Amino acid sequence: MGKKLKLGMVGGGVGAFIGEVHRKAASLDGKYELVCGAFSSSAEKSEKTGNELGLDPNRVYGSFKEMFENEASLPESERMDAVSIVTPNHVHFEPAKMALEHGFHVIIDKPLAFSLDEAKELKKIVESTGNVLALTHTYTGYPMIKEARHYVSSGKLGSLRKIYVEYPQGWLSSALEEEGNKQASWRTDPSKSGEGGAIGDIGTHAANLAEYVSGLEITQICADVNIAVKGRQLDDDSAALLKFNKDVSGVLIATQVAAGEENNLKLRIYGEKGGVEWTHTNPNTLLWKPLDEPVQILRAGTGYLSEAATSNTRLPAGHPEGYLEAFANIYVAFHDAVQDFKSGSYKSVNDYDFPNVDDGIRGMAFVSTMVKSNNSDKKWTEFVV
Amino acid sequence: MGKKLKLGMVGGGVGAFIGEVHRKAASLDGKYELVCGAFSSSAEKSEKTGNELGLDPNRVYGSFKEMFENEASLPESERMDAVSIVTPNHVHFEPAKMALEHGFHVIIDKPLAFSLDEAKELKKIVESTGNVLALTHTYTGYPMIKEARHYVSSGKLGSLRKIYVEYPQGWLSSALEEEGNKQASWRTDPSKSGEGGAIGDIGTHAANLAEYVSGLEITQICADVNIAVKGRQLDDDSAALLKFNKDVSGVLIATQVAAGEENNLKLRIYGEKGGVEWTHTNPNTLLWKPLDEPVQILRAGTGYLSEAATSNTRLPAGHPEGYLEAFANIYVAFHDAVQDFKSGSYKSVNDYDFPNVDDGIRGMAFVSTMVKSNNSDKKWTEFVV
Amino acid sequence: MGKKLKLGMVGGGVGAFIGEVHRKAASLDGKYELVCGAFSSSAEKSEKTGNELGLDPNRVYGSFKEMFENEASLPESERMDAVSIVTPNHVHFEPAKMALEHGFHVIIDKPLAFSLDEAKELKKIVESTGNVLALTHTYTGYPMIKEARHYVSSGKLGSLRKIYVEYPQGWLSSALEEEGNKQASWRTDPSKSGEGGAIGDIGTHAANLAEYVSGLEITQICADVNIAVKGRQLDDDSAALLKFNKDVSGVLIATQVAAGEENNLKLRIYGEKGGVEWTHTNPNTLLWKPLDEPVQILRAGTGYLSEAATSNTRLPAGHPEGYLEAFANIYVAFHDAVQDFKSGSYKSVNDYDFPNVDDGIRGMAFVSTMVKSNNSDKKWTEFVV
Amino acid sequence: MGKKLKLGMVGGGVGAFIGEVHRKAASLDGKYELVCGAFSSSAEKSEKTGNELGLDPNRVYGSFKEMFENEASLPESERMDAVSIVTPNHVHFEPAKMALEHGFHVIIDKPLAFSLDEAKELKKIVESTGNVLALTHTYTGYPMIKEARHYVSSGKLGSLRKIYVEYPQGWLSSALEEEGNKQASWRTDPSKSGEGGAIGDIGTHAANLAEYVSGLEITQICADVNIAVKGRQLDDDSAALLKFNKDVSGVLIATQVAAGEENNLKLRIYGEKGGVEWTHTNPNTLLWKPLDEPVQILRAGTGYLSEAATSNTRLPAGHPEGYLEAFANIYVAFHDAVQDFKSGSYKSVNDYDFPNVDDGIRGMAFVSTMVKSNNSDKKWTEFVV
């Protein structure tokens, strides 16, 4: 296992959903110790959170600026190694930039930034500092997603033809943001989320997953982006026809007004010789559909899977793993990269299997292309990074 | 039950898939007696089929023209009442026209005709003759589709927002038409199928089902229609963004190159207050997804369903019914209309729950709009009938 | 197809469930023509049913005795070939005996008779007359049950170890028989059903299916048979430990008080090298579970199945078939045997794949052994025929 | 959250499955810090494991005796609060006894001990020391199991009638213990597992779950316990008819030779008014089957669940949780009890929702009753604790 990394956190105060997820994901495998945090822009709230987490009060900060400066001044044996940034989208860029510039590695919730410009700027900083940055596109962490990717890359499907990815949610079917729901409020607020609502919040996950598993890139989009709940400023519903490179086409659905749906992310990829299907409600299963043969139910934890799947599984087959484990897989991979960095063996982020700044840029480009396409009468809009 | 209708058939000779389906569907409930047929353009093949079916050789014809003329000359107590037309698409219009004009009622496989023009012409003949015409969009015959429609029309979903309909098949993933597969051959041949391949064969089913259940009409289409298997002249793959009236949007997928898929027609409709989901692989189940409440598994044959579902079910809950029973439901409804016609109580085809010539026209318009949209750089193409 | 058999029916009057099922099953494939019936012990009701079915009034009888005598006197070209017996259990033996003795072939609903003694007596009559008798253990008619049997018999599972069969229903969870429910009334009445309630009604199906697919015979039973709904005279719930020959053990569940269950018959058989699983709610699927490999989803209508499955399927994969089709498969097989009989080529009932009088005897023995075991303090009771 | 508990561990060295599970479960929610361990009876292996876990070498012990003695001598601010015992069954009693007697709280893997006598003796020690002991019957930690229990206890099912619980596994279908599989080796060795094989390893889980959810106790057992794989000394397969108090009956299956099955624990409970069904392969779902109404799919993380379910869930609906989270729920509840103990507010273990020494005793009694019943010719054997 090796030594635990010392982790700091920006955001994730009381009532935050994703901050708690990051903490559990980091804890699960015993590879991180949370040592400090700036959990809220309110010093009082930050203090309260730090106290609840049992942190040294001296390392619970009222602002991320204060945290980075103070932590950077501590001796290496004490100071944090890396920071989790789990704030709403409009507070991603500044802390990430500052963390990198103070020598800290960064693991950041998606989407990478508030805008494509911010995302590109961040990439420059990653490159100039040479530090490690990971982006938590959770779903790429599932072992059966790794297996799906392995099936594609190893040629079992033959030449790819179709990619269908959908992420239907129903929780924003009514105007929860008007009822004080914190999660709904920032997600529907363009000053906090950026130019994308559902397309940023979940559409980026769908697009990222399709590209990750297929190994392809979206090249053109034809989007229909809607506001279903009257009064909203940001989209809560979208669909798009997609073109990928290598002559592959597809369909993407990302909606938050499919009443009754939870987080039903689903990916289907078809090639000449067969198809794969994965659904988030049953994440330890991958369906393999060879042409003219029986469908096979591939299961996490079994002996017949690829190394990529196996190394991202903790339990034998039939003991279900879930979202936190997928999330933790990204933390484990990021841990390995940072440890390698510290030991001098780190060469390139591409040697590690976690989403990075390039995925983040493509995510922001996805959002802006969806918006651009939606505003256009032309059928196809180029996906430009 | 009443007296059996006397049925004739055009097409459906040896090796035909859909002709046999029509015969079994007509037989199931004991409401039809097959009395004559012109099963093939080859008199020899027709004779062979008639013999196998145990028909009176005098009423097995070498051509549909001969059949209509001869049957029309028989006394009413003997001559056929109605004819099933189960030929490939390019042989729909002529026999339907002639049957109607000879005083016979017509039940015809979809798509209604070879082209939109033919379909419109046929409508005129239906109107001028006053006879009954039914179109076998099978899937509308399933009891849980009736229930879904009832849920929508009775307001349980509230205002509709989204419609997703997909019909993925995989059987045309390779060029079966080059290997002598009869079903594949005519479906991929524009001289027999018309301007649509997958969009005509299964896309029309998907579009029809979405309109039938939602009670809405497609108003605009943005299509991506492809030929995935090299060498084909007709599409084998398609997807489209849809606009319906009443501000509802949707997505349609119809592909025959999703390797490993069978006939996985799936319909999901979401409104303000909940959603419904039906899949052809599990046709006796309808999922009802009320917003913020547990999903309910509605099952055919139970006591809590609507009259529309119940009257289209033969068995108690848990005894599965399938495709032939759905098909037979259309035959039963057509039987009722024809019997009413014969007894003088028939007023309008709209009093009966089976797809009719208007559905047929919309199906042909769907195909032509898909093609037109695919050839256009504009995002949206009007769905014009 | 050949010539239609002329079919008579005993029972199946207005309001009868299984009579209508038999009629539809016989009709489906066009191999039978219903020519006569004694549909009720009330001549008036019988007449009414005959009229609704459009039968010749001269051949609608007030009693089966009258029917057999009169039909036997008709010329061969007119008289019925075979009779469906679809009465409650206590009216199975007499009409079956009389039919056989008058030269008619018999297809009879299960259980074969009212008692084991009656069943054995019937076997003697089948043997002495040489006529064909089929028993409608419906579930054996499903194509994927045929495939499961093929998997076992062809050795894919290796030596068998375990058989689990269960048939949970919930419809008798309350005392429907006191509310005038006709189906509930006779099933809970020992004077009509015999000594078994649930064990006769559905337990026999479960036991028959387990034996049919495994090719084994139950040798010992350890039963727990209960009356869950107070006031009943017959069991509505049961479970049993089973021993089969060849050192295989198993569990059987047959209950009608599993509230919320429909007809959830399920069979699982495990051998050294893998297992098979079939469920009635999803009858076109068979799960094949090879040891240490991915589970395979075998599907009816595909190209990779055995002849036994394929010849019992009417539709391509993905077009669901159901209960009536399974039922009809028994009618088709019985048709073939009777046609062979008529043409002189019939040798032995064992040449045909339908349940016969021996299955019927084993079913009655199952019931009596369950009762005997339940009344015993000893763990194991021999299954004696 | 409060202060972290300091945890020690007995067992769980390199290659151990369940030790790693305990560590992750303890880590997940940040409520424990692993401070010491006696990970193996080999001091070298223990040291290696401690080193990999980054523990202080002074607190990595060569034996649990050494650990308890040394830890007891440390100041309270340093010494461990509680110990996880994760050794094979034959090394449960001694460390548990010693830990309790040295003032440590104990969380111990199931089954509680090697024999029923040991289990009873342990209860005396728990009572005399007053310390907290938790037993990790993992499956009781799942939120939807809590919900099922709530449904039963709140009367939604009415009076209970039937309980079906099954735990089929397939991994011991061949003699893995002869191929050096460590997990298989001790489980099939009576000197390490005790008198039960499958019945102890998984049968106890099934029995415990049935009792936990139903709130009932097994009173009589009729068992069929087998050795399917030749050469084994312990059972690898079992089934039993069960009687519970309050006139409820049931069936239990626990087998490790159902080839192709993983850990398919399934519980179904039926009452007068409905049934519940839970399966381990889909643990975030509970089916609620009200009599004569649609089945409802209850889902973890939704707003309509009981407090018991909600407080054992970390994520919103649709983000799957799994086995480690269920396991962690036991650790969280144990943490609360121990913290209360430390703060003086602990009164009785029955105030906490985790399995305790009484469950452990019943588990051992289950094993011995299964064995006793299997050796008896009598149908029913009393379940005596």
Residue C124: give its domain's CATH number.
3.40.50.720
> Which pairing describes strands B5-10 and B82-85: parallel, antiparallel, or unpaired?
parallel
Say whether residue D282 is in contact with chain B using an 8 A CB cutoff: no
Evaluate whether residue A322 is within a structural domain: no
Residues in D 68-107 with any Cβ partner in A closer than 8 A: none
Evaluate whether residue C85 is within a structural domain: yes
What pLDDT was estimated at residue A1? Answer: 41
Encode burial over C102-128: b for 16+ CB neighbours within 10 A, e otherwise.
bebbbbbbbbbbbbbebbbebbebbee
Q: Looking at beta carbons, which residues of chain B come within 8 Å of A237?
A: 161-162, 249
Query: Same domain, yes or no, for A125 and A155?
Result: no
Evaluate whether residue D384 is within a structural domain: no
Contact C318 B169 (CB under 8 A): yes
> Which pairing describes strands C274-279 and C266-271: parallel, antiparallel, or unpaired?
antiparallel
Query: Same domain, yes or no, for C31 and C123?
Result: yes
Say whether residue B248 is in contact with chain A using an 8 A CB cutoff: no
pLDDT of D229 above 60? yes
Residue C7 in 3-state DSSP?
strand
Q: Looking at beta carbons, which residues of chain B come within 8 Å of D302?
A: 292, 294
pLDDT of D148 above 70? yes
Of all helices (H) and strands (E), which one includes residue A85?
A: strand A82-85
Say whether residue A299 is in contact with chain B using an 8 A CB cutoff: no
Say whether residue C292 is in contact with chain A using an 8 A CB cutoff: yes
Query: Same domain, yes or no, for C19 and C91?
Result: yes
Q: What backbone torsions phi and psi does residue D232 show, to the nearest 5 degrees?
A: -75, 150
3-state secondary structure chain B: CCCCEEEEEECCCCCCHHHHHHHHHHHHCCCEEEEEEECCCCHHHHHHHHHHCCCCHHHECCCHHHHHHHHHHCCCCCCCCEEEECCCHHHCHHHHHHHHHCCCEEEECCCCCCCHHHHHHHHHHHHHHCCCEEECCHHHHCHHHHHHHHHHHCCCCCCEEEEEEEEECCCCCCCHHHHCCHHHHHHCCHHHHCCCCHHHHHHHHHHHHHHHHHCCCEEEEEEEEECCCCCCCCCCEEEEEEEECCCCEEEEEEECCCCCCCCCCEEEEEECCEEEEEECCCCCEEEEEECCCCEEEEECCCCCCCHHHHCCCCCCCCCCCCHHHHHHHHHHHHHHHHHHHHHCCCCCHHHCCCCCHHHHHHHHHHHHHHHHHHCCCECCEECCC
What pLDDT was estimated at residue C1? Answer: 41
What pLDDT was estimated at residue D2? Answer: 52
In this complex, the residue of C292, C297, C302 whose CB is nearest that of residue A297 is: C297
Best residue of A296, A302, A305, A306 to probe chain C, by most C CBs closer than 10 Å: A296
Evaluate whether residue D278 is within a structural domain: yes
User: Distance between CA atoms of B251 and B153, rounded to whole angstroms?
Assistant: 21
User: Distance between CA atoms of B232 and C6, rounded to whole angstroms?
Assistant: 49
Lowest model confidence (mean pLDDT) among B54-58, C43-47, C307-311, D185-189: D185-189
User: Distance between CA atoms of C236 and C215, rounded to whole angstroms?
Assistant: 28
Give yes or no for a contact between B273 and B184, defined as CB atoms under 8 angstroms apart: no
Query: Same domain, yes or no, for B333 and B305?
Result: no
Give yes or no for a contact between A110 and A364, defined as CB atoms under 8 angstroms apart: no
Contact B294 D293 (CB under 8 A): no
Give residue-wise pLDDT tens across range C163-178. Answer: 999 999 999 999 999 9
Mean pLDDT of D192-207: 96
CA atoms within 13 A on the CB side of A175: 10
For chains B and D, CB pairs below 8 A equal 32
Tokens representing residue D370 in the block = 């299964």
**What is the separation, in whole angstroms, between the first and last Cα of chain C?**
38
Query: Same domain, yes or no, for A94 and A209?
Result: no
What pLDDT was estimated at residue A17? Answer: 86
Q: Looking at beta carbons, which residues of chain D come within 8 Å of C222?
A: 222, 224, 241, 379
Query: Same domain, yes or no, for C294 and C335?
Result: no
What pLDDT was estimated at residue D1? Answer: 41
- The overall average pLDDT reported for chain B is 96
Say whether residue C262 is in contact with chain D using an 8 A CB cutoff: no
Query: Same domain, yes or no, for D279 and D164?
Result: yes
Q: Looking at beta carbons, which residues of chain D come within 8 Å of B294?
A: 288, 296-299, 302, 304
Say whether residue B198 is in contact with chain A using an 8 A CB cutoff: no
User: Distance between CA atoms of B49 and B86, rounded to whole angstroms?
Assistant: 14
pLDDT of A182 above 90? no
Give yes or no for a contact between B275 and B248, defined as CB atoms under 8 angstroms apart: no
Evaluate whether residue D383 is within a structural domain: no
Confidence tier at B2 by pLDDT (50, 70, 90):
low
Say whether residue B162 is in contact with chain D using an 8 A CB cutoff: no
Nearest to A233 by CA among A289, A287, A285, A177: A177
pLDDT of B372 above 60? yes
Say whether residue B291 is in contact with chain D using an 8 A CB cutoff: no
User: Distance between CA atoms of D355 and D344, rounded to whole angstroms?
Assistant: 21
pLDDT of A2 above 70? no
Number of other residues whose CB lies within 10 A of the CB of residue C236 = 26
Length of chain D counted residue by residue: 385
Nearest to B259 by CA among B181, B377, B170: B170
User: Could you tell me which chain C residue has the CA closest to the CA of D227?
Assistant: C161
Nearest to B204 by CA among B146, B265, B279: B265
Contact B241 A237 (CB under 8 A): no
pLDDT of A15 above 60? yes
> Which pairing describes strands A274-279 and B295-299: parallel, antiparallel, or unpaired?
unpaired
Query: Same domain, yes or no, for D53 and D156?
Result: no
Evaluate whether residue B268 is within a structural domain: yes
Evaluate whether residue D321 is within a structural domain: no
pLDDT of D15 above 90? no
Say whether residue C384 is in contact with chain A using an 8 A CB cutoff: no
Phi-psi region of D4 (alpha: psi -120 to 50; beta: other; left: phi over 0): beta
In this complex, the residue of C164, C251, C258 whose CB is nearest that of residue D270 is: C258
Mean pLDDT of A326-334: 98
Query: Same domain, yes or no, for C169 and C276?
Result: yes
Q: Which residues of chain C have pLDDT under 70?
A: 1-2
Contact D24 A24 (CB under 8 A): no
Contacts of D228 (CB under 8 A, 6+ apart): C161, C162, D173, D236, D237, D255, D257
Query: Same domain, yes or no, for C226 and C297?
Result: yes
Q: Looking at beta carbons, which residues of chain C come within 8 Å of B262?
A: 299, 301, 316-319
Number of other residues whose CB lies within 10 A of the CB of residue C185 = 15
**Bridge partner residues of B271 (DSSP):** B160, B274
Query: Same domain, yes or no, for D269 and D298?
Result: yes
- The overall average pLDDT reported for chain D is 96
Of all helices (H) and strands (E), which one includes residue D161?
A: strand D160-168
Residue D77 in 3-state DSSP?
coil
Contact C260 D251 (CB under 8 A): no
> Which pairing describes strands A274-279 and A266-271: parallel, antiparallel, or unpaired?
antiparallel
Residue A314 DSSP one-character state: -
Say whether residue B156 is in contact with chain A using an 8 A CB cutoff: no
Confidence tier at B139 by pLDDT (50, 70, 90):
very high
User: Could you tell me which chain D residue has the CA closest to the CA of C275?
Assistant: D259
Provide the total of helices (H) and of strands (E) in chain C, helices listed first.
Answer: 13, 14
In this complex, the residue of B294, B299, B303 whose CB is nearest that of residue D296 is: B294
Give residue-wise pLDDT tens across range C208-249. Answer: 999 999 999 999 999 999 999 999 999 999 999 999 999 999
Residues in D 32-71 with any Cβ partner in C closer than 8 A: none
Contact D297 B293 (CB under 8 A): no
Q: Looking at beta carbons, which residues of chain D come within 8 Å of A29?
A: 24, 27
Number of domains in chain D: 2
Q: What backbone torsions phi and psi does residue B116 show, to the nearest 5 degrees?
A: -60, -40
User: Could you tell me which chain D residue has the CA closest to the CA of A142?
Assistant: D320
In this complex, the residue of C166, C257, C270 whose CB is nearest that of residue D258 is: C270
Q: Give the range of the structural domain holding residue D257, as residue numbers without chain letter.
A: 142-316+364-374
Query: Same domain, yes or no, for A185 and A237?
Result: yes
User: Could you tell me which chain C residue has the CA closest to the CA of D225?
Assistant: C249
Evaluate whether residue C226 is within a structural domain: yes
CATH code: domain of residue A246: 3.30.360.10
